[in-house]
Each structure stands twice: as C-alpha cells, then as structure tokens.
Structure 1
Amino acid sequence: MKYTRNLLAVLFTSLTLASCAGEQKTEDGWTDLFNGKDLTGWKPVAGTATFEVVDGTIEGSAVAGSPNTFLITEETYGDFILELDLKIEHSSSNSGVMARGQFDPAARDGKGLVFGYQIEADPSERAWSGGVYDEARRGWLYPLDLNPEAKSAFKMGEFNHYRIEAIGNEIKTWVNGQEVAYVVDDMDKTGFIGLQVHSIKKPEDAGRKTTFKNVKIQTENLEPKAFDKDIFVVNNSLNSLTEYEKNNGWKLLFNGQNSDGWKGAYKETFPESGWSVNEGLLTIAATDGSESTNAGDIVTKEQFSAFDLTFEFRLTEGANSGLKYFVTLSEGNKGSAIGLEYQVLDDDNHPDAKMGIEGNRTMASLYDLIKADKQARFIKPVGEWNKGRVVVTPDNKVAHYLNGVKVLEYVRGSQEFRDLVAKSKYAKWENFGEATEGHILLQDHGNEVSFKNIKIKTLK
C-alpha cells in the first residue's frame, strides 16, 4: 500500500513537471512561456512554416505555398499581460502575436484555421506594427492611421519589445515602449497565445526568418499600465465611453436611449415619426428615397467648431444618407440643410455613386467635392457596420476616415477648397463650408439607415 502511494506520488510529480516544462514561473510574478530549450507547451497549426529553437530563441521560417502558420500555446488564457521580443529580417515577413486566439481544426478541409485578435508586426512601408487585426474574421480593428505617431516604433532587423494587455474587454499594446493601440471589444474572452509566420507571395522569400524570445505572461494580480498620451480608442461596446475616453474629453452625442440632444433641422423638436430609437440604434425609416421630404434631417442642438467625431452606420441595400458638419441652418433652402457632408452610401446599388466628378459622391467622400481614396477590403458590406470619423483641427485641416483608415484630407477655406466649391452644387452659397461653427446633421434621404456610437471630442 505504501509502495503504491509512493509510486502515485512519483507519477504525479513527473506529470506536473512535464506539463510545466514550457512554463517556468519567476519570482516577479511572470511565467516564461518559452523555456529557451525546446517547444514544450507549444504546437504549430494551420500551415507548414517551420519553427525551431536556435540559440535560445524561437525561429520561424517561411515556406512557399503555405498559408499563415502559427505556433500556439497548448494552454489558453483569459486576462493577462504578455511581453515578448520579436525580430523580422525582411519586408516580406509580416508577422503578429495572437492574443486570446481561436482555432478551428475542421476548417479548410481539415487543415485548420486560426482566427481572432492579432497584434500586428508590419515591416512594410505601411508600418502598422502594434495595431490590432482580427485574423480571418473582421479584419482591422485598430489600423495605425488612428495613431500615426506610433508608426515609427518598430525597427526592422532588430528585436522589438511588445507588451500586450488583455484585461476584461480591453486590449492595449506597446511596441518598444511606445503606446500604440487601445481596443474595447468583447468577442473573445479567452484563447491561446500564438506566434505567426505569414504566408509569402514570392518563392524567393522562402526561408525568411521571424524570431521570438523572452516570451512571458502574467495572469494574476494584474496591474494595467496607464497610457500617458491621448490615444484614440476603438470602442466597440454600444454607446458607451471608457473612463480613459471621458478623461480625454469625449462625450456621447447619442445616448442610445432617446433623442436627447437632437432636433429636427429647421424645427424646435425631434421629428414625431420616421426617426426611431430602438435597442441602442438611431434609425431613419425607409420611405420613397427622396431627400429630406418626409421625417426630415436631424441636427445636434449644440454647435461645434474644431472636433474629433466618430460614428457607426449600417446601410440597407441601395441606401443613401450622410453626416454633415458646419451646418448653420441659415440658408433657408428646401430639402436637406446645407453643410459639408461625409457621404453615407451603398456605392454598388445607389446611382449617386456614379454621379458627380470622378467618384466624389461615393461612401466617405466629401460629398460633391473630394473622392474618398478607399480600398474595397476596408469597406463593410451592406447590413454590416462601418465606422466613420471626421477630424477638424483648429487650423481648419479636415480628415475623413473609414473603418480607421484615412481616406481624404483638405483645408477649409484654402484656395484649393474654394476652387472645388466653385465647380460643385455648392457654388451658389457664399463662403460655403467656412462657418466658424455649426451643427452635426444626420440625413433623411428616404432610405433605411441606422446609426450608433456617435461621439465627439472638442479640439483646442
């Protein structure tokens, strides 16, 4: 009996040591996920790129014809702080770190598919390292057009230090100490840690190396690191603000519960019909497709001059709407009130997309003035949510963004701007678009369109 107990104790100790061989807890509360000797605790999935231990590092090598390959932890994690060093030797070797990653072994005819939050390592001229990408699912959550100062943090051919915090519904990233991305999202609460070797386009790039070392994690007594700078937050929770956003001057223009803060254009009250607030969405009902002749446009009661404005919109097939800014309500015109317009449009199914000059009436364009320079991969299809953003700085520089990517910029009141106005539908209004302040407007164009997460920050 005593012999049996001793044997069981020996077996239990052996199993415990084996299971922890890839994880070694240090005195400061960190746990090493890589023991520096072998890949115990890790497994490669989804591709045929190779991983091996070389001089105390994990060296991943690209393989021609392979999809993205990931070396993932056998254990999954919920809340954590992860730090590691990552080196890329060639511009073809895009990489990344999966945080709360997911794996479907049955996908792609049994070859498997990794998906979920990925913290980017981008050695290209785009330089979006540290941004947050939703691998094989929603695409970019935090492209670095939202934080251009961080584009210089990553160094090609050197080890770059990554810090990733995934605590609750917040993901924050640093590269070489530079604050990079801040995402609020609740799609995945747990998952594995993964190291990526990206697919390659050219056979001659086979064998290119991506190297990882010093991979460690904290899962207990977490102390989040505060951002010192005012970093833009991608907040995917419904009509809410983090304390960080509030402290940096953001406020909701739509509270998700009622029409407080809004009224009908040229009216004293909110429209009695047409516009509705339901389940956190602000929606204009479909009518006959005509411009502002039914429920009519709505405007903020407050006026703004320099600001950072974000909103999300969901189109129905063939829908047309718009968000206007610097709306003064002084023109007395019939139809929609006059203002600079961020176009909200189904480019594929509404005829307005083919009107105007060289596409300047398409989604995210400055309507009838400047075409949005956008790629199809950054446009969400009809029925899904697109994120709009308009930034107006005190010196009258203006930028439009679509899903986090800057698609146009101009200067209000510049000669170039006035030349564009002179050959547009706005030419008949003196000093169009140059008011010192104005309302924000959402347009009724007779089609069903929904809005949410409308928030603004005054810039000084």
Structure 2
Amino acid sequence: MKRIVFSAMAACMIVSACATAQDGTGLSKKEKKAGWKQLFDGKTLTGWHQFHAKPGSTPAWKAVDGTLFLDTDAKASGASGGDLVTNEDYENFEFEYEWKISPNGNSGVMFGVNEDKKYGATYSTGPEMQVIDDAGHPDGKNKKHNSGELYDMIAAPKFYAKPVGEWNKAKIIKKDGKITLFLNGEKTAETTMGTPEWQELLNNSKFKTWKGFGEYPKGKIALQDHGDKVWYRNLKIRQL
C-alpha cells in the first residue's frame, strides 16, 4: 500500500512539474494556456525597435545573457541611443517583467506610447512606471519619482524596490482605462484614465499642458534610455 501511495504522489509531482516547466519559449504550458506571450526571446531584439528608428541604425540595446541590456558604453563606439519600443500596440493587457538598475541609474517603462512623428519622445504620450536607484539617483528624492510609482502622478505607499543591482519584479495591468501597478508583489498605484481623478492627477503633474499625454487607449510599450545601464528580463504579456 505504501508503494502505491508513493507512486501516486510521485506521479502527481511529475504532472505538476510538467505543467509548470518552461519550454523553448520561456513560458510554461499553464502560462501559454492562459494567453501569455513572450515579448523578448532572450537572444535577439525581435519584436522591438528604437523609437523613431533611423534605417540602418545599431541600437545600444543588446540581448545579453537572457536580458535586454542598455549598453551605454556602446554609444561611444557609434551605437545609437534612444528608447526601445514594441512593434505591436496594446490596449487591454497584463504585462510582467523584471528589471535591474545600475548604481545611480534611471530608466522606466512607458505604455500607451504613440509613435507619430509629431511626438518627440515616448514619454510625450505614455505614462511611466518608474525604474530607478531610489537611494543613489537625485530624482529618487522627489515624491512620485520612486521605483514602481506612476511617474510624477501617484506615490507608492512605501518603498518596495530591492537594493540596487538586485532584480525586481514588476507588473502593469491596464483594462478599459484602469491602470494598476505592482512592484515585488505590492500595489504601488491604481487609477482610471479619463476620470475626474485622472484629470486631477494630470493637473498636479508636469504633464498638465502636454497635448497627447495619456490620451491614446492603445499604444506601444517602451523601455527608457535615460543614459544609464539597465537590464530587463522575463518580459511577457497577455491581452485582456
């Protein structure tokens, strides 16, 4: 009887492992069934391009050891800087990713980005979830400019980022205009675009007079080149 029980338990463990094991896509069978898709294959920049990319340009962004890495040193060798954006546009989605920042570094993740030539930067239209060395970068001293926050709009209840150089896990959920942000499992911001609350947040931010900011329900996701080394990995998304 003991042997039978053990075998049953072992079988359950094997089935469970198979259900969660990752295949060549980097996603488990359970994740793929739930609609998750990779946004980075760990080896190439496929699916991404520089914002307003010029033909033939070589981006400073590189695929290194399974990460999307901004090699700021490469700029000295002629690589072009600039934010990296997805080829596709997204409206209702759940986006998960991990990030690691260099000492005194700054970056960010924008969404709802419109690539029309009349907009000179990703942040002209896309709200940002902040990525920063809170303790080392001067901007980290400003309220609503810390890691995981909806940049310049909503301050998180507490500091949830791990020490600089360690990996942080972030999540952005956007559904019918409602935005919810999480950093390392903790909610950092929540609001709904187009509501009186949203307008009040805008009126109290640097974006108050920016035409086009936060006005596009559907847009690209962007990784910011703020001039500092930063790493992203395990980027995945599912449409809601």
TM-score (norm 1): 0.46
What residue in structure 1 maps to residue 141 of structure 2?
354
Report the residue type matching 2:42 in the other structure.
Answer: G
1:374 deviates by 3.0
SS of the aligned residue for 1:221 comes to helix
Are residues 431 and 265 of structure 1, via their aligned partners in 2, closer, same or farther at CA, if it must alter by over 3 Å? closer
Are residues 419 and 221 of structure 1, via their aligned partners in 2, closer, same or farther at CA, if it must alter by over 3 Å? closer
Are residues 327 and 345 of structure 1, via their aligned partners in 2, closer, same or farther at CA, if it must alter by over 3 Å? same
**2: CA distance between counterparts of 1:341 and 1:243?**
31
**2: CA distance between counterparts of 1:398 and 1:308?**
10
SS of the aligned residue for 2:10 comes to coil
Relative contact order (C-alpha < 8 Å, sep 6+): which is higher? 2
1:253 deviates by 0.6
**2: CA distance between counterparts of 1:423 and 1:237?**
46
Instruction: Show CA shifts across 1:357-377 (max 9, x none).
Output: xx20110110111112234xx
**2: CA distance between counterparts of 1:239 and 1:282?**
16
Report the residue type matching 1:387 in the other structure.
Answer: K
Are residues 403 and 221 of structure 1, via their aligned partners in 2, closer, same or farther at CA, if it must alter by over 3 Å? same
SS of the aligned residue for 2:201 comes to helix
Instruction: Count how many residue pairs are aligned between Structure 1 and Structure 2.
Output: 230
Are residues 268 and 302 of structure 1, via their aligned partners in 2, closer, same or farther at CA, if it must alter by over 3 Å? farther
**1: CA distance between counterparts of 2:42 and 2:9?**
35
Task: Give unpaired runs (5+ residues) of structure 1.
Answer: 1-24, 31-79, 81-217, 227-232, 288-293
What residue in structure 2 maps to residue 390 of structure 1?
172
Q: 2:12 aligns with which of 201, 222, 237?
A: 222
What residue in structure 2 maps to residue 414 of structure 1?
195
Report the residue type matching 1:406 in the other structure.
Answer: K
Please say if 1:426 is aligned against 2:213: no
What residue in structure 1 maps to residue 227 of structure 2?
446
Report the residue type matching 1:386 in the other structure.
Answer: N
What residue in structure 2 maps to residue 297 of structure 1?
83
Q: Report if the CA contact (8 A) 1:239-1:254 is conserved.
A: no
**Aligned positions of 1:75-114 closer than 5 A:** none
Report the residue type matching 2:65 in the other structure.
Answer: E
Are residues 354 and 333 of structure 1, via their aligned partners in 2, closer, same or farther at CA, if it must alter by over 3 Å? farther
What residue in structure 2 maps to residue 171 of structure 1?
none
Q: 2:33 aligns with which of 223, 247, 256?
A: 247
Report the residue type matching 1:365 in the other structure.
Answer: E
Are residues 415 and 284 of structure 1, via their aligned partners in 2, closer, same or farther at CA, if it must alter by over 3 Å? same
**2: CA distance between counterparts of 1:427 and 1:442?**
23
Report the residue type matching 1:452 in the other structure.
Answer: R
Please say if 1:279 is aligned against 2:65: yes
What residue in structure 1 maps to residue 147 of structure 2?
363
**Aligned positions of 1:54-65 closer than 5 A:** none
**1: CA distance between counterparts of 2:163 and 2:194?**
34
SS of the aligned residue for 2:169 comes to strand
Q: Which moved more, 1:236-245 or 1:298-307?
A: 236-245
Report the residue type matching 2:70 in the other structure.
Answer: I
**1: CA distance between counterparts of 2:153 and 2:25?**
31
1:340 deviates by 0.7
SS of the aligned residue for 1:374 comes to coil
Q: Going by fraction, where is strand more abundant, 1 or 2? A: 1
What residue in structure 1 maps to residue 236 of structure 2?
455
What residue in structure 2 maps to residue 261 of structure 1?
47
What residue in structure 1 maps to residue 127 of structure 2?
340
Q: Report if the CA contact (8 A) 1:270-1:298 is conserved.
A: no
1:300 deviates by 0.4
What residue in structure 2 maps to residue 169 of structure 1?
none
SS of the aligned residue for 2:94 comes to strand
SS of the aligned residue for 2:99 comes to strand
Report the residue type matching 2:179 in the other structure.
Answer: V
**Aligned positions of 1:367-382 closer than 5 A:** 367-375=151-159, 378-382=160-164
1:239 deviates by 7.0
1:313 deviates by 0.6
Q: 2:218 aligns with which of 424, 437, 441?
A: 437
Q: Report if the CA contact (8 A) 1:265-1:337 is conserved.
A: no
Between structure 1 and structure 2, the one with the greater Rg is 1
Q: Report if the CA contact (8 A) 2:148-2:161 is conserved.
A: no
Report the residue type matching 1:362 in the other structure.
Answer: N
Task: Give unpaired runs (5+ residues) of structure 2.
Answer: 74-79
Q: Report if the CA contact (8 A) 2:93-2:173 is conserved.
A: yes
Report the residue type matching 2:5 in the other structure.
Answer: G
**Aligned positions of 1:303-314 closer than 5 A:** 303-314=89-100
Q: Report if the CA contact (8 A) 2:169-2:183 is conserved.
A: yes
**2: CA distance between counterparts of 1:381 and 1:237?**
31
Are residues 337 and 387 of structure 1, via their aligned partners in 2, closer, same or farther at CA, if it must alter by over 3 Å? same
Q: Report if the CA contact (8 A) 2:22-2:28 is conserved.
A: no
1:220 deviates by 3.0
Instruction: Show CA shifts across 1:185-230 (max 9, x none).
Output: xxxxxxxxxxxxxxxxxxxxxxxxxxxxxxxxx643336678xxxx
Are residues 380 and 247 of structure 1, via their aligned partners in 2, closer, same or farther at CA, if it must alter by over 3 Å? same
Q: Report if the CA contact (8 A) 2:93-2:174 is conserved.
A: yes
